């Protein structure tokens, strides 16, 4: 790209509905002649997102069976809350029927109930395992994603999910741990369509319900490096005043899932500018004070890296509404794909990050609204 960057990183934070636009953006990267390493990183993000789309289609095909299982789980959950002692007796009887002695069956029932009562009853009564509802998606990920290659850290993938119990965001990063299908599924487990995914004994949902533009995890990464960051924003932060109920629902979802992305970025820009200011101030301290331990500690808060953030804003398409995040029709897929491709081609051709900018700016924001169809 440009010699001003010591390292180029591409981060494409995506919402579950951003999969199609992101795929088109990746195609735009290829058309612009972006190098193999760049395309691999961006393309991998698009691949994961596209795989989630395939899983969603498969889920739709099996919806009837999944709805039945979900109803069984709901009824079982209600019985566990209403009569836990009776349910424990029932579970004990099921294990006795499988050949365990009454004493051992009771012990197993007690221990499994303490660990996860619903899972124990679901398996014993209905043959439903925790992963059965999402098995098609897991199979698709296993076929299309080379997790061994990812584990060798040729590329880096960081996915975010929100802990259902605590409401806190957690990031699973291939730099620090092996990333599996479960981690990717958790990052795309958007309720109520997808059930929460269990990881390390905790359930996780799509991180987008907590923050749909988790840009801070990229900007706060340590060690800091000069970077070029691409952020895909599918939900529109701005829009017209709605006058119909359908427009109200669409605008409500836009605002809800835009997740205050601009505010987050503005705050990060302020912090990084202060780091530049600290660095400049440290240069002006007399030489005889440079080795003072206090001065050295304070000077470490300074930083001279510069990050260019390119925000891709998805165009509004004719006749789209609040269902756009679950629109997997052929026409919807083709329109979103083309919109992403066209916008990526336009922005990559302009290369706004190569233009002169404020040397004290830690984060330089480039935002280009796409041409409307």
Q: What does the pLDDT look like over 161-219, one tens digit per residue?
A: 999 999 999 999 888 888 888 898 898 888 877 788 888 888 999 888 887 777 777 88
61 pLDDT higher than 80: no
How does pLDDT run across 248-270, given as a tens digit for each residue?
A: 988 888 887 776 667 778 888 88
Task: Please tell me whether residue 235 adopts helix, strand or coil conformation.
Answer: coil
On average, the pLDDT of the chain sits at 78
* Confidence band, pLDDT 50/70/90 cuts, at residue 278: very high
Q: Which among 37, 38, 20, 39 has a CA at the least distance from the CA of 338?
A: 20
User: Hey, what are 300's tokens?
Assistant: 């470490």
Where on the phi/psi map is residue 260: left (φ > 0), alpha (ψ -120 to 50), or beta?
Answer: left
CB atoms within 10 A of CB 27: 20
Q: Give the pairing of strands 363-368 and 197-199.
A: unpaired
Inter-residue contact 344 to 32 (CB < 8 Å): yes
As a whole number of angstroms, the longest Cα–Cα distance in the chain is: 83
Distance CA 240, CA 249 (A): 13
Q: What is the pTM of this model?
A: 0.62
pLDDT at 3: 36
Asked if 304 and 276 touch (Cβ cutoff 8 Å), the reply is yes
- Cα distance between residue 187 and residue 181, in whole Å: 10
């Amino acid at each position: 790209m440009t010699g001003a960057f010591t390292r180029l990183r591409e981060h494409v934070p995506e919402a579950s509905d951003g999969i199609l636009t992101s795929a088109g953006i990746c195609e735009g990267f290829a058309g612009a002649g972006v190098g193999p390493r760049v395309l691999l990183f961006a393309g991998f993000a698009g691949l994961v997102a596209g795989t989630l789309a395939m899983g969603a289609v498969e889920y739709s095909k099996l919806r009837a069976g999944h709805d039945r299982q979900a109803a069984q789980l709901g009824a079982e959950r209600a019985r566990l809350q209403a009569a836990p002692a009776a349910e424990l007796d029932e579970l004990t009887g099921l294990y006795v029927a499988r050949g365990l002695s009454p004493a051992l069956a009771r012990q197993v029932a007690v221990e499994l109930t303490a660990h996860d009562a619903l899972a124990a009853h679901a398996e014993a009564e209905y043959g439903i395992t925790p992963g059965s509802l999402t098995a098609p998606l897991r199979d698709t990920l296993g076929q299309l994603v080379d997790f061994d290659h990812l584990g060798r850290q040729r590329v880096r993938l960081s996915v975010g999910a929100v802990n259902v119990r605590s409401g806190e965001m957690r990031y699973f990063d291939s730099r620090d741990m092996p990333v599996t299908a479960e981690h990717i599924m958790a990052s795309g487990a958007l309720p109520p369509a997808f059930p929460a995914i269990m990881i390390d004994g905790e359930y996780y949902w799509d991180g987008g319900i907590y923050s749909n533009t988790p840009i801070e995890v990229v900007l706060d990464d340590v060690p800091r490096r000069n970077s070029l960051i691409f952020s895909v924003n599918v939900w529109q932060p701005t829009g017209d005043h709605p006058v119909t109920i359908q427009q109200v629902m669409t605008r409500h979802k836009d605002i809800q899932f835009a997740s205050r992305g601009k505010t987050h970025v503005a705050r990060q820009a302020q912090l990084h500018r202060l780091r530049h200011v600290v660095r400049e101030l440290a240069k002006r301290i007399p030489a005889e004070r440079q080795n003072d331990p206090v001065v050295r500690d304070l000077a470490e808060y300074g930083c001279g890296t510069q990050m260019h953030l390119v925000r891709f804003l998805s165009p509004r398409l004719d006749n789209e509404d609040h269902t756009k995040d679950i629109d997997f029709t052929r026409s919807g897929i083709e329109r979103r794909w083309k919109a992403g491709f066209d916008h990526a081609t336009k922005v990559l051709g302009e290369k706004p990050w190569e233009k002169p900018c404020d040397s004290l700016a830690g984060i330089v924001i480039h935002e280009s609204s796409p041409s409307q169809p």
